[in-house]
């Protein structure tokens, strides 16, 4: 790997954000394509951050700091990418269920999914089930990630599942949940396909959906 | 063993001394549950805030309405929630009183430390709030924020509230006092945004220091006020962790908050009182650090997080009092069966009561908790919690 790509990867891995954008620009000037920088530099670096997070060496704040670096760089590179190169792994609709406005976990999941090659359609917080179902239909997405923090709002998960069934979409759409009040028990109770415990686990969950379903 | 008073039972538990039975703690109550216990107020909080004239008034006056109008309403609401815990018969209650919340407009309440919350319905006829986001998004916002708390004034009001509360309820329950919302890290998360707080620490350390100076001063002064009023246990909420671990690394937590917490806890313990830290999520990697700071007891041990309450008892139960254990995600909701609550209480007591330093209670409070589920928990704790049978 070229030194400049390695520098980007290492900067992300070690969460060194000083002059990071200049490093990315230098890489472009050296002739690397935006996709090379994303895949070989940013994504690899973020993968390593994720690994260190799972091993307990890094913490949520480190994911946020690294995610901020990668998001800033990706936004800069996206303008220079040919159409169709972004979101190659498919579209994921993310939302915090109706009645709940907590979204830190969902934001971090979105960053990790985006950096891993997914096109993330983040509908925000307090989202009615009907809007989520309509977005799935309109975008052709086959994956949905729902966030819920409050026990009082978990019925919103069931409403999305019921909405997908009613719209005849459930068979082709995988649904995952995450958030403070979520558990495998709740996933089973609500009839969703998976529960992701952390942002890094969420990437595995959606990769698993892809492996098991034609996108 | 002779039957003890709730205060004696709880304080002896903190000391690791023998008690007659496992004490039971209530981790605050929301209005829905308090209303089930005390009976509904004549005009619900949702209706009083939602009344068109009130909305007009709040939209017109905003923060200026805080003193004369909203503070007494807020004080009344909080008092009902505290009194209902005593009425239920808990040995220890989390008496929360913080009247620094104010209306920015009819749909927004704010904390003086710079965070914003939506005014919403709890689904049971009461007004409640839900975090909307940071009130301070840049150093310029910080400099321009006009509502920073005045520590001495806040402390005076806190003192008056707890003085009255203790004189009325101090014999019936051990009061855990809490006079200001949020601890050092949690306040920072709400004010700057959870996803932005690490960026502030890195990019704006001077502002972080200024912010923590403000919160530390109010915390120290409200704690002193609570203790002066006669409270023997201070509970500090500060969510250092989430579902799977701490937000920040233990090293960074020590760097940013360590000295400040040593001063805060030293102030409480220097007065002969106990310091309880409520921190949601999985704090497994932080308990040793918290003990170094001088914490006497920990509350939450949320079952939906990865923390292992039994392992914590084994590791730290000889030095710290473990408080909580009963989940609010399922057990203390309408979805559970009463037998499941009884079974869990029995299991917690069997495994955590031996050796003492265990206070049973819910991991949190939420609108989803019906009063009758708390009563089931209490009755089970009374039935199975007697020493020496449990030990």
ipTM field = 0.87
Task: Quote the minimal CA–CA distance from B252 to chain A in Å.
Answer: 10
pLDDT number for residue B84: 98
Model confidence at A214, in pLDDT bands (50, 70, 90)?
very low
pLDDT number for residue A117: 83
Contact predicate B256/B214, CB 8 Å: no
Q: What is the pLDDT of residues B122-175, one digit of tens each?
A: 989 999 998 899 999 999 999 999 999 999 999 999 999 999 999 999 999 999
A180: closest chain B residue by CA:
B243
In a domain, B126, yes or no: no
Q: Which residues contact A45 (CB under 8 A, 6 or more apart)?
A: A8, A9, A10, A11, A12, A13, A66, A70
In a domain, B308, yes or no: yes
Q: How many Å apart are CA A107 and CA A99, to the nearest integer?
A: 17
Which of A59, A150, A185 is opposite residue B248, by nearest beta carbon? A59
Which helix (H) or strand (E) segment holds residue B26: the answer is: strand B25-26
Q: Which residues contact B153 (CB under 8 A, 6 or more apart)?
A: none
Q: Beta strand B102-105 with B233-237: parallel, antiparallel or unpaired? A: unpaired
Q: What is the pLDDT of residues B369-389, one digit of tens each?
A: 999 999 999 999 999 999 975
Q: Do A60 and B197 touch (CB under 8 A)?
A: no
pLDDT number for residue A85: 67
Report chain B residues touching chain A, CB-CB < 8 A.
Answer: 118, 122-123, 130-132, 194-195, 197-199, 201-202, 242-249, 252, 280-281, 285, 302, 304-306, 328-330, 333, 366-368
In a domain, B357, yes or no: yes
Which of B245, B281, B366 is opposite residue A152, by nearest beta carbon? B366
A153: closest chain B residue by CA:
B368
How many C-beta neighbours within 10 Å does residue B167 have? 11
Give contacts of A 138-157 with B, CB under 8 A.
150-152
Q: Beta strand A143-147 with A174-178: parallel, antiparallel or unpaired? A: parallel
Q: Do A197 and B328 touch (CB under 8 A)?
A: no
Q: What is the pLDDT of residues B197-245, one digit of tens each?
A: 999 999 999 999 999 999 999 999 999 999 999 999 999 999 999 888 9
pLDDT number for residue B32: 96
Task: Quote the minimal CA–CA distance from A177 to chain B in Å.
Answer: 14
pLDDT number for residue A83: 67
Q: B101, exposed or middle or buried, with CB in 10 Å at 0-12, 13-18, 19+?
A: middle
pLDDT number for residue A43: 84
Which residues from B are below 8 Å from A59, CB to CB? 245-249, 252
B131 DSSP assignment:
E
Average pLDDT of span A12-18: 95
Model confidence at B43, in pLDDT bands (50, 70, 90)?
confident
First-residue to last-residue Cα distance in chain A: 31
**pLDDT of B390 strictly over 60:** no
Q: How many Å apart are CA B125 and CA B32, to the nearest integer?
A: 8
Percent of chain B with pLDDT over 70: 99
CATH 3.40.50.280 corresponds to the domain A91-212: yes
Which residues from B are below 8 Å from A153, CB to CB? none
Q: How many Å apart are CA B377 and CA B342, to the nearest integer?
A: 6
Q: How many CB pairs under 8 A join A and B?
A: 76
Which helix (H) or strand (E) segment holds residue B276: the answer is: strand B274-278
Angle of helix A199-212 versus helix A44-54 axis, rounded to 10: 120
Q: Alpha helix (H) ranges present in B255-337?
A: 259-270, 287-293, 309-316
**pLDDT of B353 strictly over 80:** yes
List the single range of A200-214, B75-89, B158-172, B187-201 with lowest mean pLDDT: A200-214
Closest by Cα among B207, B195, B194 to B141 = B207
Quote the mean pLDDT of chain A: 88
Q: Do A59 and B281 touch (CB under 8 A)?
A: no
B241: closest chain A residue by CA:
A60
Q: A10, exposed or middle or buried, with CB in 10 Å at 0-12, 13-18, 19+?
A: middle
Which of A65, A152, A198 is opposite residue B368, by nearest beta carbon? A152
Closest by Cα among B77, B297, B283 to B174 = B297
Q: Do B249 and A59 touch (CB under 8 A)?
A: yes
Task: Quote the minimal CA–CA distance from A183 to chain B in Å.
Answer: 7
Using CA atoms in the order B372, B373, B376, B377, what is the torsion angle rounded to 10 degrees? -140
In a domain, B318, yes or no: yes
Model confidence at A162, in pLDDT bands (50, 70, 90)?
very high
Can you give A138-194 as a three-state secondary structure string?
HHCCCEEEEECCCHHHCHHHHHHHHHHHHCCCHHHCEEEEECCCCCHHHHHHHCCCE
B335 DSSP assignment:
T
pLDDT number for residue A148: 84
Question: Which residues of chain A form CATH 1.10.1240.10?
Answer: 3-78
Model confidence at B391, in pLDDT bands (50, 70, 90)?
very low
Q: What is the pLDDT of residues B10-23, one digit of tens each?
A: 999 999 999 999 99
pLDDT number for residue A102: 73
In a domain, B112, yes or no: no
In a domain, B122, yes or no: no
In a domain, B147, yes or no: yes
Rounded to 5°, angle at Cα B377 from B372 and B383: 125
**pLDDT of B321 strictly over 60:** yes
Closest by Cα among B113, B126, B300 to B190 = B113
Angle of helix A104-115 versus helix A44-54 axis, rounded to 10: 130
CATH 3.40.50.80 corresponds to the domain A3-78: no
Distance of alpha carbon B311 from the chain centroid? 24
Q: Beta strand B245-246 with B241-242: parallel, antiparallel or unpaired? A: antiparallel
Contact predicate A108/B195, CB 8 Å: yes
Domain holding B373, by residue range, is 6-41+66-102+136-384
Q: How many Å apart are CA B10 and CA B18, to the nearest integer?
A: 11
For residue B388, whether the previous peptide bond is cis, meaning omega lies within 30 degrees of 0, is: yes
Model confidence at A84, in pLDDT bands (50, 70, 90)?
low
Question: Where is pLDDT greater, at B131 or B359?
Answer: B359
Give the CATH number for residue B200: 3.20.20.210
Which of A50, A60, A66 would best serve as a mutation to test chain B binding (most B beta carbons within 10 A)? A60
The number of folded domains in chain B is 1
Which helix (H) or strand (E) segment holds residue B186: the answer is: helix B184-192
Closest by Cα among A133, A123, A124, A120 to A91 = A120
Query: What phi, psi does A207 have (nearest 5°)?
Result: -60, -40
Which of A17, A61, A180 is opposite residue B247, by nearest beta carbon? A61
Percent of chain B with pLDDT over 90: 86
Which residues from A are below 8 Å from B247, CB to CB? 59-61
Q: How many Å apart are CA B172 and CA B286, to the nearest integer?
A: 34
């Amino acid at each position: 790997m070229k030194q400049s790509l390695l520098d980007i990867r290492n900067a992300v891995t070690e969460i060194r954000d000083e002059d990071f954008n200049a490093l990315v620009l230098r890489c472009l000037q050296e002739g690397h394509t935006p996709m090379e920088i994303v895949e070989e530099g940013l994504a690899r670096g973020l993968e390593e951050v994720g690994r260190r997070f799972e091993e307990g060496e890094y913490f949520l704040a480190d994911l946020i700091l690294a995610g901020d670096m990668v998001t800033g760089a990706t936004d800069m590179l996206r303008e220079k990418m040919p159409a169709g190169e972004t979101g190659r792994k498919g579209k994921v609709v993310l939302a915090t269920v109706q009645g709940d406005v907590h979204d830190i976990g969902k934001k971090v999941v979105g960053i990790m999914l985006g950096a891993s090659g997914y096109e993330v359609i983040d509908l925000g917080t307090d989202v009615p089930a009907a809007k989520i179902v309509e977005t799935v239909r309109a975008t052709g997405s086959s994956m949905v990630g729902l966030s819920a923090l409050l026990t009082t709002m978990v019925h919103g998960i069931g409403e999305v599942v019921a909405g997908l069934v009613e719209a005849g979409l459930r068979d082709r759409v995988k649904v995952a949940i995450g958030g403070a009040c979520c558990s495998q028990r709740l996933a089973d109770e609500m009839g969703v396909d998976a529960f992701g415990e952390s942002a890094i686990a969420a990437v595995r969950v959606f990769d698993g959906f892809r492996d098991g379903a034609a996108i | 063993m002779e039957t003890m008073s709730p205060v004696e039972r709880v304080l002896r538990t903190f000391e690791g001394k023998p008690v007659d039975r496992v004490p039971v703690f209530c981790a605050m109550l929301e209005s829905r549950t308090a209303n089930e216990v005390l009976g509904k107020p004549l005009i619900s909080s949702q209706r009083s805030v939602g009344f068109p004239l009130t909305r007009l008034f709040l939209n017109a006056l905003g923060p200026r309405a805080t003193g004369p109008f909203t503070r007494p309403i807020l004080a009344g609401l909080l008092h009902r929630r505290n009194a209902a815990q005593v009425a239920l018969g808990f040995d220890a209650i989390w008496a929360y009183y913080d009247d620094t919340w104010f209306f920015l407009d009819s749909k927004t309440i704010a904390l003086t430390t710079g965070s914003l919350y939506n005014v919403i319905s709890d689904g049971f006829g009461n007004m409640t709030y839900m975090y909307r986001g940071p009130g301070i998004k840049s150093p310029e916002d910080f400099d321009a924020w006009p509502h920073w708390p005045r520590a001495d004034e806040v402390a005076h009001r806190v003192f008056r509230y707890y003085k009255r509360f203790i004189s009325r309820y101090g014999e019936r329950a051990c009061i855990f006092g809490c006079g200001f919302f949020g601890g050092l890290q949690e306040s920072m998360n709400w004010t700057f945004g959870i996803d932005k707080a690490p960026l502030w620490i890195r990019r704006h350390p001077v502002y972080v220091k200024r912010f923590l100076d403000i919160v530390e001063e109010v915390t120290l002064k409200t704690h002193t006020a609570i203790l002066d009023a006669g409270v023997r246990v201070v509970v500090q909420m500060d969510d250092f962790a989430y579902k799977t671990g701490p937000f920040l690394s233990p090293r960074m937590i020590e760097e940013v908050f360590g000295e400040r917490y040593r001063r805060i806890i030293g102030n409480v313990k220097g007065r002969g009182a106990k310091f309880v830290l409520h921190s949601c999520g999985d704090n497994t990697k932080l308990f040793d650090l918290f003990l170094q700071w001088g914490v006497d007891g920990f509350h939450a041990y949320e079952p939906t997080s990865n923390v292992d309450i039994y392992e914590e008892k084994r590791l730290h139960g000889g030095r710290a009092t473990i408080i909580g254990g009963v989940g609010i995600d399922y057990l203390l909701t309408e979805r559970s069966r009463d037998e499941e609550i009884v079974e869990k209480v029995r299991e917690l007591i069997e495994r955590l009561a031996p050796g003492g330093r265990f206070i049973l209670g819910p991991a949190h409070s939420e609108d989803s908790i019906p009063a009758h589920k708390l009563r089931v928990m209490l009755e089970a704790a009374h039935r199975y919690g007697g020493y020496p049978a449990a030990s």
